[in-house]
Structure formats: C-alpha cells, structure tokens
Amino acid sequence: MHNSRIVSKVKPLALCISWLFAAFCYFWQTPPAFAHSFSHTSGTMIASIFSFSGKRPANLGVKDGKLQPCPGSPNCVSSQSTDKEHKIEPLQYNSAPAEAFAKLKAVIEKTDNAKIISEKDNYLYAEFTSALMGFVDDVEFYIDEAAGLIQVRSASRLGQSDLGANRTRIETIRTQFNS
C-alpha cells in the first residue's frame, strides 16, 4: 500500500520531467528565429487564457453632467457618489479647462497599462489593465467647468472586491496631476 502511493506521486513527476527534457531538447536544436517566435506566441496564448478583461460597458459617458453611478459592489469609486464606500474627491484644477484636460491626458498616457479609449471636449475614458491577470477597470474623467473640478469614476468590470485598486489609482493620478 505504501509503495503504491509513492508510485502514484512519482509517475506525474517523471512525466513532467520527461516533458520538460523533450521540450528543452527540441528548442535547443530549433533555429533561434523560430524559438523566439514560438516563445512570444505561447506567452501571448498563456496571457489570453488567464485574461479577465470582461466586456466593455456600453453605458459609460456623461449624461446631464453626471457619470454613471457605481454599482452596489465595492470595486468602484466616483466623485459624484454620495455613499461613503464609493465616494472619492474630484480632481481640482486652477488653469483653463483645456489645459487641465491636456495635463490629465498626459498623466494617463504615461501610466503603465493604461489605454485611452475615448476623448471628447470635456470627457476622457481609459481602460487600465492589471499586469498579472489582465483584469480591466474602466476609468472616466469629466471636466465639470461650472464647478472647476474634474469628476472621476473608476470601476472594475469583474468581481466584487478590487482590494482598493480603483481608489489607489485615482489617488495616484491625483498626485501626478497636482505635481
């Protein structure tokens, strides 16, 4: 009985080692260009398997001076929210709205894993992708000229908790915007 447990644990290990040895032998003799191409293709394939991007929301944008409200889940923050869990302060600017927009856009463009999806006169929408698992968060900015503020909303597409990632992101953007 004791030997059968050892054999059952050794078999998968031996199989794994033999597979790795075969892969090593194959790539050791493979032309470098093919090996390079394969490694980049396989990396992309593995990343896509573990990607949790979700579907881009169709209801984003500004309607009557308001961004979409946060859902009931805690993985969203908004400067226009009234409840404590989702509330975050808007960004403040002391320049012309167009200058503030340009500065904000520059901050977003310099941010790793950020991609600007849409921009209009007073609105900017970007997607932020987590490096490890490919989770996508939708982040919106609305230049509220009447109030002299930039309203913000950052929401995760998937899951319930973001472990504070959306709040941290907005605070990081605020720091960079104010510097």
Which of these, 97, 94, 118, 116, lies nearest to 106 by C-alpha position? 116
pLDDT in the model for residue 104: 98
Is the per-residue pLDDT at 146 higher than 60? yes
Would you say 117 and 107 are in contact if contact means Cβ atoms under 8 Å apart? no
Considering the domain 76-178 in this protein, what is its CATH number?
A: 3.30.310.80
Mean of the per-residue pLDDT values of the chain: 80
pLDDT for residue 17: 52
Please report the sign of the dihedral spanned by the C-alpha atoms of residue 31, residue 35, residue 36, residue 38: positive
Flag the least confident range among 24-28, 73-77, 124-128: 24-28
pLDDT greater than 90 at residue 169:
yes
| d(C-alpha 96, C-alpha 101), whole Å | 9
List the single range of 52-66, 78-92, 100-114 with lowest mean pLDDT: 52-66
Q: 71 CB contacts (<8 Å, ≥6 apart)?
A: 155
User: What digits encode the pLDDT tens for the residues 29-72?
Assistant: 434 444 444 334 444 444 445 556 688 888 999 999 999 999 99
